[in-house]
């Protein structure tokens, strides 16, 4: 069973932004799919189990963006 969570990210403005965030969040254990959309600021993450929001926040921070919270 997989869990899909949608987060709101501040600072994404282009495809490069989407790629940076996707690359970082994909590294998290258990993550099977990541979709970042600059136009809406939404980050959709599919994982095997619910993720620790702090871990997702750290990955987004590492990419240079700010996780605002759940969308």
For residue 49, what are the domain limits?
Answer: 12-70
Report which of residues 31 and 71 the model is more confident about: 31
Please identify which residue in the block is written with the tokens 């970042």.
36
Closest Cα partner for 21 from 54, 66, 53, 63?
Answer: 63
Query: Which pLDDT belongs to residue 71?
Result: 86
Give the integer Cα–Cα distance in Å for 21 and 1.
24
Contact between 26 and 62 (Cβ < 8 Å) = no
DSSP letter (8 states) at residue 70: E
Assigned token pair, 28: 């998290």
Residue 51 lies in a domain: yes
Summary mean pLDDT of the chain:
97
Would the pLDDT of 1 be above 90?
A: no
What is the mean pLDDT of the segment spanning 59-68? Answer: 97
Mean local confidence (pLDDT), 40-68: 97
Instruction: Give the tokens for residue 62.
Output: 């590492």
CATH number at residue 33: 3.30.70.100
pLDDT at 46: 98
In total, how many domains does the chain have? Answer: 1
- Domain membership of residue 50 (yes or no) is yes
């Amino acid at each position: 069973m997989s869990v899909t969570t949608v987060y709101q990210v501040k600072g994404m403005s282009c495809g490069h932004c989407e790629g940076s965030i996707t690359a970082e969040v994909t590294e998290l254990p258990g993550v099977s799919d990541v979709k970042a959309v600059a136009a809406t600021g939404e980050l959709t993450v599919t994982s095997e189990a619910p993720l620790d929001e702090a871990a997702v926040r750290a990955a987004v921070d590492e990419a240079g963006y700010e996780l605002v919270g759940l969308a």
